[in-house]
Amino acid sequence: MRIDHERYSTIDRWRRIVHRRVDNVRPTLIRAVVLAQNVTETLKQARDDLKQAEKTADDEGTREEIRETAEAYRDYVVGDHEPDHAILDEHLNTLRQIRRQVDGDTEEQIERALEATENYRTDVEQA
């Protein structure tokens, strides 16, 4: 059996190039996956805080606004789409308005959800 050394050398060279590129891409992909998980966890925490705030809110209108925002967050966490910046800004504005209307435990929960949403928006911008 005769080996074509020139061809083997070329194939081997390409194989090394591909492996080198894959090795360079792998850490980037891992960082992207970890970031996506952290981002999802941040939004999930915000949703949980909103669910708690909904339970302690005094006004039915306020509870409804909190419920709608929590349901939107559930869709983002469970679904395969991310909200764009305009939608996130709308949710942030809604939470800021709700924060002015409530007090006590509800205000604390809304504040945590607001902070988590702001962190989520920052993480999405950086991703």
pLDDT at 122: 84
In a domain, 93, yes or no: yes
pLDDT category, 60, cuts 50, 70, 90?
very high
pLDDT at 91: 94
Number of domains into which the chain is organized: 1
Contact 50, 73 (CB under 8 A): yes
Residue 79 per-residue DSSP state: S
In a domain, 2, yes or no: no
In a domain, 30, yes or no: no
In a domain, 18, yes or no: no
In a domain, 3, yes or no: no
In a domain, 4, yes or no: no
Angle at 47 between CA 45 and CA 48, to 5 degrees: 65
In a domain, 86, yes or no: yes
Total-model pTM: 0.71
- State yes or no: pLDDT of 10 exceeds 70: no
Contact 109, 53 (CB under 8 A): yes
Which tens digit of pLDDT belongs to each residue from 66-114?
999 999 999 888 877 777 788 989 999 999 999 999 999 999 999 999 9
Domain of residue 65, residue span: 35-126
pLDDT at 51: 96
Residue identified by tokens 């989520």 is 120
Residue 28 per-residue DSSP state: H
In a domain, 23, yes or no: no
